[in-house]
Amino acid sequence: MVKTVEGRGENCNDDIACLTIARNDLQGLEAIKSLHRQLDDDANGNVDLSESDEFLREELKYEQGYEKRQKAFHRNDDMHISVRELWEAWLRSEVHNWTVEQTTEWLASNVELPQYIPTFIHHRVTGALLPRLAVSNMQYLTSVLGIKDPIHKQKIQLKAMDVVLFGPPKDGTHHVKDLVLVTLLVSALTGCWYAYTQNKSSKRHLRRMMKDMESLHKAEQKLENLQKELEQARLDQENVATEKQNLERRLAQECNTSELRTSYSDLEVSQLKTEIETLRNELARAEGELQDRCWAPPPGLQQWLQLTHEIENKSYIKKKIAAEKQLQQARDACEKLRKKRSSLVGAFVSTHGRSIDDVDKSIVEARTALNDVTQELQERVHRWKQIEILCGFNIINNNGLQYLESVLYRNTSNGRSFGLRSRMGSSQDDLDDDTCSLYSPSSGKTAGNNTPDTDDSSRGEAWE
């Protein structure tokens, strides 16, 4: 019998040569032979493709994914594996060169029996000793390692048989961990990006809302200034009227006194005559101007225009109250949203911009309503001043709506008066309803109120 021994891990011509190569690992060679016999069902000395396929599916319980391991066993498309070829493949295997640390790592991660790691370390179980763990008699597991649990022994035997015959197991745990880590990292980055975009969008909405609030505040200040000017004009006109009445009363008293008292000095009498003559000249000049105009308004026109002004002023006051109420609602909603967004939780919550859009919309509507009221007030001031100039009598300063109605409808029959005033009241109610619906807030989510001006002060708002 010819033997060829060229070194450990190289080819040998027969089983006796393999024994010579394995002179330092006879137990390992015997274990490989035992595994070969276990695979060789027909005992013809070779393990073919069908036998390895049956062994993988029935013994090692592989249902899918075993083709790569079977291909690794039949390397170079060798369909018949002898004991010598199996021994040579084992000597070249990566598992054969495992250290104690690698063996214990395989025991913990692949076999999932980490409680036997101290035993493996104590007996210095390396990869070269794994064929002894894979044989069916389990003598090494029982007598040397002292493992008593039959389930654990069978599990270690099957896993050792798998790595000895078919190479190291697929390292799927690291891929799963990497996939989980990558998924978590992508999720974290996505969450940070989403929080950043939401925060940026929220700040942009808040800046826009603050600009709208600033413009609304300016419009409110403009309306307040106009109201103050009108109030000052009304006070000035009242002062002028009071001074005129005082002057007329004093003049009348002086005239009466000049007639009753004859003991005045010549100087005082001459001064009074001069003043009287001046007043007469002014009166004559005024009468001449009136005659030159060739037209004088009817006596009842003043009261009817005063009534029209009061009805229009009543409608304006309701519009003003509705606009101020809407302004307060927008202001309260803005303050509430600002407090909510300034909290710690609110900075990371996507408000999503719907509540901000609603507040912004209410601000724009309040500003529009306030501008409309301001423009209407300016137009009324100009229009009634022109009417007063053309007519030559006071319209804005009057005795009030109730007094004018009682005077104008006093001479009318009861039935006609009641019908006319009923129609006027109905028309005025319709106008008020339209005004309230025009200036009411569209969102209806907030509420507020301002104190309106009195009717007496509103009557003088048409004067500057």
User: H-helix or E-strand containing 261?
Assistant: none
Please tell me what DSSP assigns to residue 11: -
pLDDT (tens place) for every residue of the chain, 464 residues total: 223 333 333 344 445 545 555 566 688 788 878 877 877 666 666 665 556 555 655 556 555 555 555 555 556 555 667 777 778 778 878 888 899 999 899 888 888 888 989 998 998 988 888 888 878 777 888 888 888 888 888 888 888 887 877 777 765 555 676 788 888 899 999 999 999 998 988 888 888 888 888 888 888 888 888 888 888 888 888 888 888 888 888 888 877 765 555 555 667 777 888 888 888 888 877 776 666 565 667 778 888 998 999 999 999 999 999 988 988 988 888 888 888 777 655 555 544 555 778 888 888 888 898 899 999 999 998 999 999 898 888 888 888 889 998 988 886 655 344 444 544 554 455 445 444 444 443 333 333 333 333 333 333 332 22
Question: Is 380 buried (19+), middle (13-18) or exposed (0-12) by CB count in 10 A?
Answer: middle
Beta strand spans in 354-423 (E)? none
Let me know: does 134 contact 160? Beta carbons within 8 Å: yes
Let me know: does 160 contact 133? Beta carbons within 8 Å: yes
Q: Between the CA atoms of 251, 253, 259 and 264, what dihedral angle is there, to the nearest 10 degrees?
A: -80
Structure tokens at 145: 């390692």
Residue-wise DSSP of 79-118: --B-HHHHHHHHHH-TGGG--HHHHHHHHHHTS--GGGHH
CB atoms within 10 A of CB 172: 10
Structure tokens at 340: 């909510």
